[in-house]
Amino acid sequence: VGEACPLTQDRARLEAQALIEEARHCPAHVPKVWKYDGTMKTIVMHYIEPPHIILRKGLCAGTVYPKLAEHMAEFMAATLFSTSRLAMSDTAFRQASAMGANAEMCKITELVIFTEPYGIASNNRHTTPQLDSTVAALREDAEAKVAISELKTKFVEKAEAYLHGDLHTGSMMCTQESTQVIDPEFAYYGPIGFDVGSFLANLLMAYFAQDGHATATDDRSKFRAWLSQCIVDTWQLFATKFLTRWSERAAAGGENSAYPALLFGQVAGGQAALAAAQSALMAEVFRDTLGFCGAEIIRRTVGIAHVEDLESIQDPEVRAACERRAIKLARTLLVLKDKACPDIKAVVVAADAQRQS
């Protein structure tokens, strides 16, 4: 990013710490850390063997990963629930969130996701001149500026769980049977919807990019349909797995400082209160997910760091058309959130409508 956000070597320790914590809660989808050397700032971790490849590479090639939604839903539900106040005492949560502070890396996120894309900044770039008018409109969009600033406040203040912090399709390695999540150097305590929204945003960008990867023998319609279903399945499975963990913990009388058993357990009105609390929280997480999803798409199309799914489209006219559709959907998710898309199926319907517009 430059001198505005200098990086410290301590990020290696924070990445090792995050990998260890994630593996503790979801060992099936996180490589084991064998050793961290604090002097050399070196992480020795389990070798992720071939044929694992970076997921984004596979998506660009049109490879279907039938277990991706199940695996990523499990990873997100396990890590986000287990590191939240839903699964620990307030004291333990304060201690954990203090250990998870990652100010230097968060400063980068706050700059490149929540600030620069909405103004004139040297780091920004876009497909020009095709997207010039789209970018100019974004820089003048008062509603978008208010929405992104509200999301930045949530990113800074809303410490709900220990996030991966950069959960895009370049941060996981996959085969047909395995998904391994890597590179959590941006890990910190923040809003649950940030991780979920980031992952779904990258699937949506892959969806919009397919028109740029179509050939005479493969229009990518089947792959695009799989991506749409993967988006729906990921959210629905995540929500189910997250709530299942919550309900099981409540039934077992486990520690939950957010919704204690004294109020939400086997007491008068407790079960009704628990159901209401679960519904309210998941609605809030979904709303945040949509907003952060929109923010991720915008920063990946007009900010400093783009995605290979779109960047590898050789024809600038085709690439710009794909990006423009993605930006339009992103703006809707950022500003209107669940008012425009009340459930996850509405998101893929909206994406399809933008693609055909």
pLDDT classification of 4: cutoffs 50, 70, 90: low
Give the largest Cα separation in the chain, rounded: 65
Specify whether the backbone of 62 is left (phi greater than 0), alpha (psi in -120 to 50) or beta. Answer: left
Residues in the chain: 357
CB 277 within 8 A of CB 247: no
Considering only CA atoms, give the Rg of the chain.
20
**140-171, pLDDT tens digit by residue?**
999 999 999 999 999 999 999 999 999 999 99
Which residue type sits at 73? A
pLDDT reading at 62 higher than 70 = yes
Helices (H), the chain: 10-25, 55-60, 68-82, 90-99, 103-112, 132-139, 142-157, 192-213, 221-252, 261-264, 270-302, 308-311, 316-335, 344-356
**108-142, pLDDT tens digit by residue?**
999 999 999 999 999 999 999 999 999 999 999 99
Quick one: 142 exposed, middle or buried, by C-beta within 10 A (0-12, 13-18, 19+)?
exposed
**64-82, pLDDT tens digit by residue?**
999 999 999 999 999 999 9
What's the CA gap between 158 and 177, in Å, rounded? Answer: 35
Residue 269 corresponds to which tokens in the numbers above?
């009105």
Structure confidence at residue 318 (pLDDT): 98
CB 334 within 8 A of CB 187: no
CB 264 within 8 A of CB 250: yes
Peptide bond into 27 cis (omega under 30): no
pLDDT classification of 254: cutoffs 50, 70, 90: confident
pLDDT reading at 2 higher than 80 = no
Q: Which residues pair with 42 in a beta bridge?
A: 37
CB 341 within 8 A of CB 333: yes
Structure confidence at residue 56 (pLDDT): 98
Q: Looking at residues 42-60, what average pLDDT do you find? A: 98
Structure confidence at residue 266 (pLDDT): 87
pLDDT reading at 1 higher than 80 = no
Quick one: 301 exposed, middle or buried, by C-beta within 10 A (0-12, 13-18, 19+)?
buried
Return all residues near 162 (Cβ < 8 A) that are at least 6 apart.
18, 21, 79, 80, 83, 96, 97, 100, 187, 188, 189
Q: Looking at residues 342-354, what average pLDDT do you find? A: 98
pLDDT classification of 3: cutoffs 50, 70, 90: low
What's the CA gap between 293 and 338, in Å, rounded? Answer: 12
* Nearest to 148, CA basis, from 294, 323, 327, 350: 294
pLDDT reading at 322 higher than 90 = yes
pLDDT reading at 187 higher than 70 = yes
Q: Looking at residues 223-251, what average pLDDT do you find? A: 97
Give the pairing of strands 179-181 and 161-163: unpaired
As a whole number, the mean pLDDT across the chain is: 97
Cα 345 versus chain centre, distance: 18
30, containing H or E segment? none
Structure confidence at residue 150 (pLDDT): 98
Structure confidence at residue 15 (pLDDT): 97
Give the pairing of strands 172-174 and 42-45: unpaired
Half-sphere exposure of 318 (CA within 13 A, CB side): 14
**285-297, pLDDT tens digit by residue?**
999 999 999 999 9
CB 322 within 8 A of CB 310: yes
pLDDT > 70 fraction of the chain, expressed in percent and rounded: 98
Residue 66 corresponds to which tokens in the numbers above?
């039938």
> Which of 236-252 are b and which e, b meaning 16 or more Cβ less than 10 Å from the residue's Cβ?
ebbbebbbebbeebbee
Q: Looking at residues 85-104, what average pLDDT do you find? A: 96
